[in-house]
Structure 1
Amino acid sequence: MKENYLGVDVSPLNYDELINALYNRLEEQQNSFIVAINPEKIMKAQQDTALRNLLNRADFQIPDGIGVILASRLKGGRIKSRVTGIDMMMRISEESVKRQKSVFLFGAKPGVAEEAKAGLERLYPGIQIAGTLNGYEKDPEVIKQTINDAKPDILFVAMGSPAQEYFIVDHMQELYPHIFQGVGGSFDVLSGRIKRAPEGFQRLGLEWFYRLLKEPKRIKRQMILPKFLLSVLKK
């Protein structure tokens, strides 16, 4: 049973439960659309009905944001821990090796997807990367044909949110894969171009604080968190 915060659904499943559900659906040739949910997206969805509908169309809305965890605790919900977009991508990739499923990387600047491919191959020896395509390709027919010719089981789309989610929703039924995830800047991290917060910050759910220390200008975005929690309490 999904939880709902200000009109946006959130899945309470943890990593292991998600992996089992995703790969069971894949074996049954059912499509699975994964979207990361955080307070910023939920608050934007208050003024953007199309965005709210888009987020709610996903099969799995992962709680990628400490604010969602806090909201669940305030409301006596079942969401106990974060499921971050990049870590979900890593778990799916790791499991793809065990189950001999293939992956396609679409998005980011020219060269980045290839570097992310190399990063995944170092992390998960034996991973099957069916292909890559940079996000500067804009012809939908070329994109669809390139992905479908590669016949991957899993598609990771790195175009930024919500563009990547709109792409998935608009084309999912015409594409070969069955697992679809928008992964934002994850290719940049896997390629080594951007560094994640140290593990200590990750474990404590304080990646947002680390980014704030690095980029003080983000303070305006971080002020969304208390507004979100107050709105949840009022509801």
Structure 2
Amino acid sequence: MRGLNGKVAVVAGAAPGNIGGATAVRLAEEGMLVVAADLREATAQAVADEITASGGTAVGRGFDISDEQSYQALIEFTVERFGGLHGLFNVAADLSPQTIGRDTDVISEPVEVWQRTIDVTLTGYMYGIRHALPIMIKQGSGSIVNTMSSSVWMGEPEHVAYQAAKSGLVGLTRHTATLGGKHGVRTNLLSPGVILTETAIRSTTEEFREQIMASVRAPRLGRPEDIAAMVAFLFSDDGAYVNGQSLLVDGGANFT
């Protein structure tokens, strides 16, 4: 991808085997200086170690996306360490059993599950944008990518908080695209379909994956590297005229 070498990226939600981890690796392969950030610093550092072992430049950093001061400190650390910020990828989500496992329907949803999901997946993304956007506007360039989910378009009978939080990212993304666009800062939204992360492989059966495969207009299910490639494109000069868009990356499972 053109225009990535030497630029600085934050991946907010980077752990081995997931979309964020794969994206951090891909961005480093393209020559970006990467801050891999995750709730658990050890997992973020594992991604950074993988990158540096391959000759790239990366640091791992622990942070809590639901805490504005923590996210602000992450952005400030990045700028102090590398001298700028050119790409922000918001991909963190609370997929723990106590949250996503209790995210039911609108009738029976526990309020604390609803609030926790909104705090992480919507408000947390806003925190990152709030502190990254002024830096990007001042330098006259930058790209922000938020992560939605194809489940929003499907209208699943459960996971109401997850779908509501992810849906809210449409408005947040378009607002940010409008605010930053004239200053050279683009903001876009990726909606992955079923992606075979390590967590997805562990938590689904072969039968389930075969059922999903039947609905996908592709010869395989998605991999974290598929999303990583799209982030690299949207960060790059090759994606310079893409702004405010919601892009499905699901192998053709949904036509919208």
Structures share a fold, TM > 0.5? no
TM-score norm. by structure 1 comes to 0.38
TM-score norm. by structure 2 comes to 0.35
